[in-house]
Amino acid sequence: MTDYEAVILDVDGTIVRGEALLPGVTDGLRALEAAGCSRLLFSNNPTRGADHYGGKLAPHGIDVDPGSVLTSATVSAEYLAATHPDESVYLVGGERLRAILADAAVDLTTDPDAAEIVLGSFDRNFSFGTLWESLRALEDGVPFYGTDPDATIPVDDGEMPGTGAVLAAMAAVAGREADAILGKPSSIAAAAAMERLDADPRNVLVVGDRLDTDIALGNRAGMETALVLTGVTDRADLADTDTEPDHVLESLAAVETLL
């Protein structure tokens, strides 16, 4: 047994990279299960809902309950539906995120002049035209949110631009930063995670590969944190950061040393 009641696990860069399972992940998950830790997967991927990860991890022998999965897409949808009901949301983002928002009964508009809320996110089709429309949508102080701050996304052969790059462009033309990020590391994301875990934050371990999202989430919420070096962060990054993890692990396989 362990003092940890629960663990929040990042997915991309912690459990998988692209479609491949990272080495030792199964051993790490088994150690957490044997220690009696409740498990929540929390991905900042804004293109996927909770059901996706069951299908993604099942071929690797990892069972995932959709009720124990959060993504920046699902957190954003829940937040907008609860706090901005009946307000028209102009989305800069992909069709998968649009479908997740629609399923949560978020009112969407494709007319930038009708925007009452603007949500920026990862968009493979982001263009000059998109940026121009977002500038119109952001006029008159319309509330401006982002799904997540990730400037890049790890893929099989390296990295690709993420939501953070899109938000930076939108912020540059609008002359203001997003009012809030809804996914990790925000207080909104932490509250959504704790609602599902029903645990004391002091007894929760956050494991992830990003200092500015995973580790920052845990630090801000009073949780213990462990950085894994299987994603975008390496030891050199640790020498130049104010966001310090409680533990540094070579991979999720080493989580057993903390239990």
Q: What integer is the mean pLDDT of 218-230?
A: 97
119-144 pLDDT, tens digit each = 999 999 999 999 999 999 999 999 99
Q: Is the peptide bond before 149 cis (omega within 30 degrees of 0)?
A: no
Six-digit token pair at 134?
């977002």
- The values of phi and psi at residue 54, to 5°, are -60, -45
pLDDT band at 1 (very low <50, low <70, confident <90, very high): low
pLDDT at 108 over 60: yes
Distance from chain centroid for Cα 157: 21
Tokens of 27: 């051993």
Q: Which residue has the higher pLDDT, 3 or 10?
A: 10
* Cβ-based burial of 27 (10 A; exposed 0-12, middle 13-18, buried ≥19): middle
pLDDT at 156 over 90: no
For 65, the 3-state DSSP assignment is coil
Set out the domains of the chain in order of their start, with CATH numbers.
Answer: 6-44+184-258 (3.40.50.1000), 84-176 (3.40.50.1000)
Q: Write the Ramachandran bin of 232: left for phi over 0, alpha for psi from -120 to 50, otherwise beta.
A: alpha
- Write out the catalytic residue numbers: 10, 12
Taking only Cα atoms into account, the Rg of the chain, rounded to an integer number of angstroms, comes to 18
Instruction: Record the pTM.
Output: 0.92
